[in-house]
Chains A and B, each alone.
Chain A
């Protein structure tokens, strides 16, 4: 025997050979799960991540009106004065291009979430922006020199950027891009008024120009009547004179905003910072609390009702148990809407249960019970709908508890109750854990049943999420609410793991 490392049959050290074999094994295992993993990443994790990202993403303002965002940066929003004319002019330029690209109303709807009236303000201004008095500039400049009418002039002067004329060069670049997007030729398209507006501004600001055409235009500037963009906008709608409008744009100019999350917590982001929403608009914290509370109540009702059923299923002779199991599964296969509507028929004031109670004389006709369109209705209907999710895990765990345990306990002198409570129940806890997690997580995200039977007091946070996704189209707020809900579930799951231990959860065998 030598003292060297142990060698494998092919002469390599055994350790390395083993590691290689192990690596190959792991690789093979990974490749086997790879299709599913990739599938889940692409169809499940990525869309969710994308949706959650929308809760902070706010590029729309900066992308749609970049010049305005830039110009408002130096404006002191607390001064109670309107932004300078340069900001108005920048906004005019942005609006012309946004209107052409049909982006301005989208921005209007976005800002309308923060300040009422922005939606129509943007739509109205977009409709009018093509008819501003800036055509006076176009007429005046082409009157000075007909070369200004020629797209080639603009291309020659500004296509490569002109440091003395920054605004015009910038506007021309965007104009060119817009023309190309429309599949038109920038060398054939008549220059728009917005270009002349930029030209006028650059010429009034600068002094030395390298091109004779520009110098001549500068010399003729005195004869041109300036057009106030501010007046033009105010003429469209007086709201442009309201500093709050500009404050809102400035506040939401950043690419990422905490606004949606603040909104989810009944707060709001204004020019002055974070403040509470007015009392008559606070709703989300109340809904979150209600959702958690009612989901817990539903989970406990499911345990109470499901435990005896599961016990029966596990302990009856197979024939009877199978019939019972079908009875448990039958509603499971019935449409959710049918089951929810059935509860309406049963629980409403003119419904079956009230009719029977009145008929039997237990209550009189005027005192019919209100059991639906409130929290009671939601709890009853959802407990029924989620019950199979509690019974099935409980049943499969109880099935594995040997009956001999109970017999042993009893033969050692335990009463029925002690045998159940000290022996049987602890063995069934993993089933309760699995069932509770299933029911609770399903309940917290439910929205169809609460919407139909919840009335005003039984609706969940998911109803608001659904509303913001499909009706108000405020996807940012929906994403923020969803993120909070997801975080709440994860925290509860973590707490459950700490207290009970997730290893104690069994879905079966």
Chain B
């Protein structure tokens, strides 16, 4: 009898304790998921370190963003979500939102407004590509080239198909996205028609035929660090990679490399919060995300890495690099001088054609 009472009492205590936690209490720990490397470091310096200094929250970082969708799906199936805030590319955010694995956000309600009072949804504008997605940066896939190994600096993306003027090996990402678009653009297709053309068998054959012309001279990369290494070693003379990687090769490591911004492909990266978090963790995650994506914090991140802040109101605040002291604005992919010819990763179109074109791309590679 006595034992039962004790158990009951403990149970009641536990219940009332958890109820009081849920009542506005925020967790003291945050598990953040990101990409590792220089990018994660910039997030730590711009977001998590000042936040920890203000609130005393302790951070755990997991470098799993590349497999975030697969892992969140598995966590959801297992009913045990260990992540609080996850950094993903926009395409993954859309997938997670579609599958109900990410929390839908009311951007105006739950995120900070711009200093002049512009609501968050207007400040982010079109970059809110999904209800679950909290945009953070705009990055781009552009080309780097060796300034000393090429006779002249390329000005058009079609230089990759021009072996006579720009000899040497190329490096391209081992996936169809962006490569097929560039192939068609350089085959004379207007950007507005690229996806219509790619929907047809003939259009796909045309893109692959164009890539065929450089297939034997191309090294296909799957990790973002590969092209910078290949460029630095002189293994390739021109290759695609993320613009932040090129910035670090050029400005931080002083390699003889230049950036070719022509027809860079924009992509977005940002936060999502997994669906189904307990209330105290959710409250903390929302608080952190609101802090980390306000106008000043997004501009701060640009001090450490050359990715464009996702808020319109952050752009004027972008200053100098924290360690190098150089102006960051001209290194942003969104800088008007760099953004003459650009296109945005077509999320909806690729969601449909990814399975099919990836199979064809891999079969083409293996031929």
Per the 8 Å Cβ criterion, residues 483-499 of A in contact with B are none
Inter-chain contact B362/A464, CB cutoff 8 Å = yes
Residue B18 at the chain A interface, CB threshold 8 Å: no
Q: Is A507 an interface residue (CB 8 A)?
A: no
With A102-B99, A106-B98, A350-B234 known to touch, is A456 a contact of B366 (CB < 8 Å)?
yes
Residue pair B364, A473 in contact (C-beta under 8 Å): no
A108 contacts across to B, CB distance below 8 A: 98
Among B217-225, B259-267, B279-287, B289-297, the stretch that binds chain A is B217-225
Q: Are the C-beta atoms of B355 and A281 separated by less than 8 Å?
A: no
Q: Is A204 an interface residue (CB 8 A)?
A: no
Please report which residues of chain A, range 154-203, place their CB below 8 angstroms from some CB of chain B when the two chains form the complex.
none
Does the CB pair A287–B66 fall under 8 Å?
no
A474 engages B66 (CB within 8 Å):
no
- Assess whether B321 is interfacial by the CB under 8 Å rule: no
Contact A456 B220 (CB under 8 A): yes
- A351 contact set on B, CB distance < 8 A: 233, 235
Flag the segment in A16-24, A111-119, A393-401 that touches B. Answer: A111-119
User: In the assembled complex, how far is the CB of residue B90 from the closest CB belonging to chain A, in whole angstroms?
Assistant: 15
Interface size on A, residues (CB 8 A): 41
Instruction: Write the chain B residue with the least CB distance to A478.
Output: B70
Sort chain B's interface into a size bin.
35 or more
Tell me the total A-B contact number using a CB cutoff of 8 A. Answer: 86
User: Across the two chains, which residue of chain B brings its CB closest to A263?
Assistant: B359
With CB as the reference atom, state the residue of chain B lying closest to A277: B359
A283 touches B98 (CB 8 A): no
Across the interface, which residues of B come within 8 angstroms of A464, CB to CB? 362
Hey, what's the 0/1 contact readout for B207-230 against A, CB within 8 Å counting as 1? Answer: 000000000000110110000011
- Please, how many angstroms separate the alpha-carbon atoms of A56 and B363 in the complex? 24
Give the docked Cα–Cα distance between A349 and B235 (Å). Answer: 6
Q: In the complex, are the beta carbons of A473 and B69 less than 8 A apart?
A: yes
Q: Does B358 belong to the interface (CB within 8 Å)?
A: yes
Residues of chain B with a CB closer than 8 A to A117's CB: 352
Q: Tell me whether A451 is interfacial, beta carbon within 8 Å.
A: yes
Give 1 or 0 for each of A99-125: 1 = CB within 8 Å of chain B CB: 001110110110011001111100100
> Given the known A-B contacts A102-B98, A348-B233, A470-B66, are A120 and B220 also in contact in the complex, defined by CB atoms under 8 Å?
no
Q: Which residues of B contact A123 (CB under 8 A)?
A: 98, 348, 351
Q: Is the CB of A119 within 8 A of B351?
A: yes
- Render A276-290 as a binary contact track against B, CB cut-off 8 A, 1 for contact: 000011110011000
Name the residue on B nearest A464 (C-beta). Answer: B362
Q: Taking the complex as formed, is B258 at the interface, i.e. its CB lies under 8 A from any CB of chain A?
A: no
User: Hey, which chain B residues are within 8 Å of A287, CB to CB?
Assistant: 366
Closest to A459 in B: B366
**Interface flag for A504 (CB, 8 Å):** no
Question: Given A281-B363, A350-B234, A116 and B352 touching (CB < 8 A)?
Answer: yes
**Does B353 belong to the interface (CB within 8 Å)?**
yes
**Which are the 8 A-B pairs with shortest beta-carbon distances?**
A102-B100, A105-B98, A116-B356, A470-B67, A456-B365, A283-B363, A470-B70, A350-B234
A contact set with B: CB distance below 8 Å: 101-103, 105-106, 108-109, 112-113, 116-120, 123, 280-283, 286-287, 344-345, 348-351, 373, 451-452, 455-457, 459, 464, 469-474
Can you list 28 pairs linking A and B with CB atoms under 8 Å apart? A102-B100, A105-B98, A105-B99, A109-B95, A109-B351, A112-B355, A116-B352, A116-B356, A118-B352, A120-B348, A123-B98, A280-B364, A281-B360, A283-B359, A283-B362, A283-B366, A286-B366, A348-B230, A350-B234, A451-B222, A452-B223, A455-B219, A456-B220, A459-B366, A470-B66, A470-B70, A472-B355, A472-B358
